[in-house]
Structure 1
Amino acid sequence: MGWFEGAAQGPNGPGRKAVITVFASGGGRTAGAAVQLSGRWLLTCAHVVNEALGVPMESVADPADALVEVAFSGLRDEVRRQARVRHWMPRRAVPDGAFGWLADLAVLELCGEPPGAARPVVWRDMAVGQRAAAWYGTGQEYSYADVVVGSCDGPLGYVDGALAGAAIGPGYSGGPLCLPDGTAVGLVVAHVPAAGGPFSPGEVIRRAIVAPWQAVRAELAAAGVSADLTTPAEPAEPAPYTHLLAHIEQQLAVLLGDPAIRADRAGQLAERHGLARPRDGSAPTYREFADFLLNRPRTTADFAELHAPALGTDAERAALGALVHLAHSEGAAALLSTGEHRELLSRLGDLCAADGTLLPRAAQGALPYTPLPPVLRPHRLPAGGLEAAVRSLEAFGGDSARVPHGARRVPALLRVAEYAAALGAARGTGGTAQLHAWSDRVARRLGVPHAALAERRQDAAEWADRQREGHQRIVVVELDRREGDPPRHFRCVLWRSRADGTPARVATGPDRPLPPAAIARLIREAADGADGDPALVEVWVDNDHLQLPVDEWDDTEPYDGAYDDGPADAYAQPAADPDDGGPGADDGLSAPLGEEFHVVLRCRTPHRNASAVARRWAARALAEPLVVDGRATDPKAAIVRLKKDRGCGRVVIHGPSAHRDKVLRACLLLGVPVVLWDRTAETYDHAPRLDPVGPAGPLDGLHERVRRFRVDAYAEPAKYPARPALVWDDPDRPLPDGLWLADPESSEV
């Protein structure tokens, strides 16, 4: 990339956005700068903190938990926050008495989440000869100071600037020293004094002191600061796309045969990536241009965005299409241009700042049958996870809906953006119109038919309408028994989902065994009060309690807190009696849990294969369920088929209990996440009893179909004798805290 190499960043280089202002007491004067490590964590110089607190800059006293005011000045709109001092590493003398010092660092923690558009810097080691830039603490465009690294072998490094332009001085301390690609190689510490030191004024006109990243990293480790708070750059690797260079050159020759146009496009690309175009009027060679496109992920999209309006012939349009297709097919190009990516992060950042659950819910709604990246699996987007989520979604292919012949399918990222906009509009969050406009522009550039995008937008609106009534409440119930507990009594731990989807422990009183009526009352109290769909009640049990009829438990039975010895069989249920208020009562007042809630089972199988569960869960709706009915396959054959078919995610089991239990245990051990059976079936001839549930029907509505069937079955048990049991093992929702209720005297868990 010779033509593109060695250029300075200029006033709008990507590093400028990493500058965070640190204010002196009162919030007016600038004390210096800081940089975001990750999430809520910021890095600055200790003497900048002293300046902000109004104490002598050389003070070594630890201002533990002191508050300073900071501002994310590099964003579109300045956002101010309070930050608290968490790690203090004041200046220390160099052991051998040489000029300089050690440390002079401080780590701050924001009091609250960072702005949605804020981005942690990516770090790499400082090296002699690197061309870098620093900005004044307020991050103004005009304050950039271009420098070259002259020395960086010790705890301090030295950089020199040209005689023209801004120079590093007071107010730059604590800010990042950034390369043209935006990665940071150290912190600005001070400018070398012109007098009173080992240097003469003539030697230090433009010399500044910096802390190389390798020295900063060592100090942070010594102070116990987790390495997880930093984002190291990927190690440099040989360019993997050399085999494409000749093909890309051919297309560029068609598009940029005029050297003046080639120089102009190259200059525009360089400026977008923080590089200054050479002033000699030269143009890069086709090889230099192709190399630049292939080794910076967003340059291909940037080039297409810049050059598409100038296309005049079919040959040029075909050449640009071929260039983009080649780069995308080999993984050398990101979906979005630099501007599109920046705008999307800003738009989604605003929505996610208002509701951290919005993007994961939108992704799940838009891509229900696609294994989502880890960052989108939790109910709430992790702090600082937006950029990783977008980057992962960019790599996903288009949807499978039919589009006009030869036209591009709607990319997964655009579909998720549409669902996020629709969900934001449903919740009254602003900015959704701008997100729609963004999708329209990107779709036009990519050649996505307007009709295809409009169809996805309508799908998103209909989906969001179904979400308007609120999130489905999730109640997690863990049941267990200990030796000596009365029959049909269980110890119970409950969690209830908060508004953001995270679980909150529900008080259940003293740890003691309770009868079903008492547990049903606790579950109902935790599940009631939620709008929208019926609450999902996940009941965690071990293998020996999979036949437990929790869906039939009824909290209308009188309970005075005393133990009810009940029958010896823990699963034995009293016969349906219209007078007892239990299942089958004809007075309409019975309230078994399965009538009102989606009651499913989760199993604590010790040897359950987590990776198999995740794999089968991702494919659960893509293949036909395996139905074990005694005619199509016997239990042994079903188990063999499960072992062969690693993508089978749903099994329906019929037949007598002995055969049923054998297949059920195999399903759980082999990681099948969705299993349905009739726990009252005695023969394979009873299979039709489950037909009203639609066991092989669409998976999305299975919860509700089971609930509706249970309503009929409890009201008319003779007509609907089946009692469906459903294992629904979502691997993205583990048991909260990983808590198992086990006998403290036992060594087994």
Structure 2
Amino acid sequence: MPWFRPPGATRPATVSVSALSGRQALHIVGAGILLPAGRVLTAAHVVNMALDREEFESAHPGGEVRLGVRVGRYGREAEVMVWIPVRDRDRARWRGDLAVLQLLDDLPSTLVPPQWKPPVVDMAIRAWQPAGRYTDLSVARGVVADVPETAFALLDGCETGGNIQPGYSGGPVWSAAESAVVGLVMGRLKGGQAQSDDDDRMRRRSWCVTAQGVREELAMVGADRLLDEARDAGEPPSASEYTELADVINRRLNSHETLAHCGRHVAYKIGLSHPGDGSAPSIDEFVRVLLSHPRALAELTDALYQFRPEAVSELVPVGWRIRNCLLLTSGERDRLNALLAALPNAITTAMPGVVRDALPDIDLAAALPPDAAWLDPESTDEALRTLLDELELHRRAPATDLANSALLPALVCLVLQLAALAPTELGSELVDWSRKVVDRILDTQDAVGDRFADARARARRLRRDVPRLYVQLTAVEGTDAPQLYTVRIWRRQEYGWQRVSTEEDRSYDTAQAVTEIFSKARTLIHNGVKPLIELALGREGLELDPHAWPSPGPMGTYRALGVEYPVVISCPELLERGSDLTDFLDERRRRLDGGVLRLIDPSVGSLSDLYSSFAGDLNTVGAVVPAVEARLRSQIVQYCLAIGLPVVLWGRGDNTWSEACDHLAKASPRQLPGRVHEYRRREWNKPTDGRPVLAWSDSTCPDLYLDDPSQENA
């Protein structure tokens, strides 16, 4: 008998087996019993009925056949893993008739397989028929009438109430007194009257395969291990983590009392029961629990950190390497959930930007819920849960941007970033929560202070910076109509970058696209400060003039985006993500205030002539392209962006650009967006306007992640 045991439940999880049509579960044909490792035990004849075969067909249905299985409220598809057909069948009973189904998707860890124990005569039992939805059940109550063989038992239903009927097959025979399954329902007994005291009892009699009988049948096909808690749950016993944990427990929990105390603490916290006789778990079993239960190691460190800190200092580094080991105790997670639920909606909807700002070195593209999930109040809770689950998997991040910075759990880094943005009282509670977590895992408190100071500095910069609108314009392919575009928009306010809800599947013509951008830009005008608008274009889009596209204005006039707002462009497509040139771009962005613009010689004849002008020169942060032939100008612009220059200025008024170029090139790189805006506004519709175009980005730009296809809305 294991020391760590499933809790004494009032009943096992309800399991139903259904036919499947496509991915849709049809009518329920029988019941089942949850086994460890995402498996379900049922009767083979239940599988046959689900597949519309003869009830006692003996041939294996095939490994590719899918069935519908519902465990509690969770519907899953399943395949037949073990097949034991009916044999030795007579009118009263038979042998075999078992099937183990493998679920194709995981179940929540809260669904725990029941214990198995042998039945005894006069034991009170119950059985359930999953009659429809997971909340609809038919309950049969009775007693164990006889156990004529260890492999099967006779059951008598109560004189009042429901009795075992068709549909119960494959389900558990449950003893509430033992909190265990004592058998698997096979059906109504079909023997003669001699086998029963009276006709009424005969109508209420049924039979089951006992717990021993189930194990014996599975053992004949080498599958009896499936009844037990999976021995390979979590990390395999041969893994180095198993050896290290066993060594630490053996050395640091080296008294019976300490081992028993820690075992009881962990069992209680992760929802398991344990003997009440003062005994302690074996080291082997304790380590297996630590490897298989995601919060077990956190709960153990919580029991130890105040009186055995040397043990915690050895356990925590092992936990970083265990794939499914979660950072927080259940109490810490519950407290964090409550604190984050109190965040202002403006912070929650900006969460993707906050995460990327707080954890720029961690790739969360696959795990971070899409921006649309944070904009919909009905999906925000689920999005937050998914994010926290991912960050609990012991990812670490630098506390600050400084070299050799101390590492903190990435989740703590994010919480401190949120604390800096949150209202004062809530922010203090989030900092206090972070300090308690760091105290438990024995990380340095100085790192918490450094991280929070850094987060507050970031928050101050966000509040101080000019508001931004980032617009991704993508040409719609395959249409004979005038050019159409899809529009995706983000905005940056005091809490960071936030996706703006738009009809992203809609195709816009140029006037409609600009009108949509105008409508979003107006929401960012505060205290007379207009937002900077960045238009992200593809390579071919660099020849467009979106800042000059007309949008309907009052009284038959029209408006232009570049006249009313400072507008810059970018081309994420040109700079390969993760290359050394992105490092050059980041460094040049940091030097915008002191860096210089280089005016390219008008006599340039090829891109090779440009290489020596910019290679390795980080103080040159931008280029001004002279009036050259249009094709060469396009190549020069693309080259300058591709090598990591954050500022490139050029013009499309071939005959008038020289004059505009002389005027604008005198501005500092930081001031160029404002200078170009003022020039466009002043010279609009003049024949000498030069048609200036500015590609520009600074260290607060949204970077390439906004162009990640994984961020597309569903």
Please confirm whether the aligned pair reaches a TM-score higher than 0.5, indicating the same fold: yes
One-letter amino acid of the structure 2 residue matched with residue 298 of structure 1 = R
* Equivalent of residue 361 in structure 1, options 339, 348, 353: 353
What corresponds to 1:378 in structure 2? 370
- SS across alignment from 1:410: strand
What corresponds to 1:636 in structure 2? 608
**CA–CA distance in 1 between the matches of 2:170 and 2:644?**
53
> Residues 451-486 of structure 1: CA distance to partner in whole angstroms, max 9, x if unpaired?
54345445556666757999965555456899999x
Change over 3 Å in CA distance of 1:195–1:385 after alignment to 2: same
What corresponds to 1:444 in structure 2? 439
What corresponds to 2:219 in structure 1? none
Q: CA deviation at 1:363?
A: 0.7
What corresponds to 1:546 in structure 2? 542
One-letter amino acid of the structure 1 residue matched with residue 411 of structure 2 = L
One-letter amino acid of the structure 1 residue matched with residue 704 of structure 2 = D
Is the CA contact 2:79–2:101 (under 8 Å) kept in the aligned structure 1? no
- SS across alignment from 1:679: strand
Is the CA contact 2:372–2:499 (under 8 Å) kept in the aligned structure 1? yes
**CA–CA distance in 2 between the matches of 1:483 and 1:105?**
44
Change over 3 Å in CA distance of 1:275–1:639 after alignment to 2: farther
Matches within 5 A, 1:53-452: 94-98=52-56, 152-153=98-99, 163=119, 169-170=127-128, 196-198=188-190, 201=205, 203-204=207-208, 239=236, 242-278=239-275, 281-294=278-291, 296-311=293-308, 317-328=309-320, 333-345=325-337, 348=340, 357-368=349-360, 370-376=362-368, 378-381=370-373, 384-394=382-392, 395-401=394-400, 409-420=407-418, 423=421, 425=423, 435-450=430-445, 452=447
Q: When the two structures are superposed, what TM-score results if normalisation uses the length of structure 1?
A: 0.54
Change over 3 Å in CA distance of 1:154–1:261 after alignment to 2: closer
**CA–CA distance in 2 between the matches of 1:234 and 1:666?**
58
Q: CA deviation at 1:694?
A: 3.3
* Equivalent of residue 8 in structure 2, options 7, 10, 21: 10
> Residues 649-678 of structure 1: CA distance to partner in whole angstroms, max 9, x if unpaired?
x9844444576633543577x6x7875311
- SS across alignment from 1:376: coil
Q: Is structure 2 residue 574 aligned with structure 1 residue 593?
A: no
**CA–CA distance in 2 between the matches of 1:169 and 1:617?**
67
What corresponds to 2:448 in structure 1? 453
Q: CA deviation at 1:354?
A: 9.8
Change over 3 Å in CA distance of 1:463–1:238 after alignment to 2: closer
One-letter amino acid of the structure 1 residue matched with residue 433 of structure 2 = W
Q: CA deviation at 1:262?
A: 0.9
Q: CA deviation at 1:366?
A: 1.9
- SS across alignment from 1:300: helix
Is the CA contact 2:468–2:533 (under 8 Å) kept in the aligned structure 1? no
One-letter amino acid of the structure 1 residue matched with residue 99 of structure 2 = D
Greater C-alpha Rg: 2
**CA–CA distance in 1 between the matches of 2:74 and 2:428?**
28
Is the CA contact 2:188–2:206 (under 8 Å) kept in the aligned structure 1? no
Q: CA deviation at 1:45?
A: 7.3
Is the CA contact 1:43–1:107 (under 8 Å) kept in the aligned structure 2? no
What corresponds to 2:669 in structure 1? 694
Change over 3 Å in CA distance of 1:450–1:163 after alignment to 2: same
Is the CA contact 1:410–1:448 (under 8 Å) kept in the aligned structure 2? yes
Q: CA deviation at 1:266?
A: 2.1
Percent identity over paired residues: 16
Is the CA contact 2:476–2:507 (under 8 Å) kept in the aligned structure 1? no
One-letter amino acid of the structure 1 residue matched with residue 546 of structure 2 = V
Is the CA contact 2:476–2:485 (under 8 Å) kept in the aligned structure 1? yes
Q: Is structure 2 residue 691 aligned with structure 1 residue 725?
A: no
| Structure with the largest fraction of strand | 2
Change over 3 Å in CA distance of 1:103–1:250 after alignment to 2: closer
**CA–CA distance in 2 between the matches of 1:506 and 1:595?**
27
**CA–CA distance in 2 between the matches of 1:96 and 1:289?**
47
One-letter amino acid of the structure 2 residue matched with residue 694 of structure 1 = P
What corresponds to 1:710 in structure 2? 676
- SS across alignment from 1:309: coil
One-letter amino acid of the structure 2 residue matched with residue 374 of structure 1 = A
Change over 3 Å in CA distance of 1:596–1:93 after alignment to 2: closer
Is the CA contact 1:9–1:274 (under 8 Å) kept in the aligned structure 2? yes
> Residues 492-526 of structure 1: CA distance to partner in whole angstroms, max 9, x if unpaired?
665666986343259898x6xx7x8x975564245
- SS across alignment from 1:169: strand
Is the CA contact 1:175–1:188 (under 8 Å) kept in the aligned structure 2? no
Q: CA deviation at 1:442?
A: 0.9
**CA–CA distance in 2 between the matches of 1:404 and 1:635?**
36
Is the CA contact 1:152–1:158 (under 8 Å) kept in the aligned structure 2? no
> Residues 329-379 of structure 1: CA distance to partner in whole angstroms, max 9, x if unpaired?
676854323443454456546769998635323312322455434332732
One-letter amino acid of the structure 2 residue matched with residue 636 of structure 1 = S
**CA–CA distance in 1 between the matches of 2:265 and 2:711?**
52
Ranges in structure 1 where 5+ consecutive residues have no aligned partner: 20-31, 36-40, 49-88, 109-117, 130-149, 177-186, 211-232, 312-316, 562-580, 582-589, 696-704, 740-749
- SS across alignment from 2:648: strand
Q: When the two structures are superposed, what TM-score results if normalisation uses the length of structure 2?
A: 0.56
Change over 3 Å in CA distance of 1:198–1:390 after alignment to 2: farther
- SS across alignment from 1:447: coil
**CA–CA distance in 1 between the matches of 2:704 and 2:677?**
25
Q: Is structure 2 residue 522 aligned with structure 1 residue 524?
A: no
> Residues 514-570 of structure 1: CA distance to partner in whole angstroms, max 9, x if unpaired?
7x8x97556424533445685565546554551444335676989959xxxxxxxxx
**CA–CA distance in 1 between the matches of 2:469 and 2:507?**
18
**CA–CA distance in 2 between the matches of 1:42 and 1:440?**
48
* Equivalent of residue 650 in structure 2, options 660, 665, 679: 679
Deviates more, 1:410-419 or 1:347-356: 347-356
Number of paired residues?
552
> Residues 167-212 of structure 1: CA distance to partner in whole angstroms, max 9, x if unpaired?
5534876669xxxxxxxxxx986767798445894744988xx9xx
Q: CA deviation at 1:613?
A: 3.6
CA RMSD of the aligned region, Å? 6.5
Is the CA contact 1:479–1:539 (under 8 Å) kept in the aligned structure 2? no
One-letter amino acid of the structure 1 residue matched with residue 127 of structure 2 = G
**CA–CA distance in 1 between the matches of 2:370 and 2:582?**
15
Deviates more, 1:721-730 or 1:251-260: 721-730
> Residues 426-473 of structure 1: CA distance to partner in whole angstroms, max 9, x if unpaired?
9xxx97776554323212213344454345445556666757999965
Change over 3 Å in CA distance of 1:679–1:438 after alignment to 2: same
Q: CA deviation at 1:290?
A: 4.2
- SS across alignment from 2:396: coil
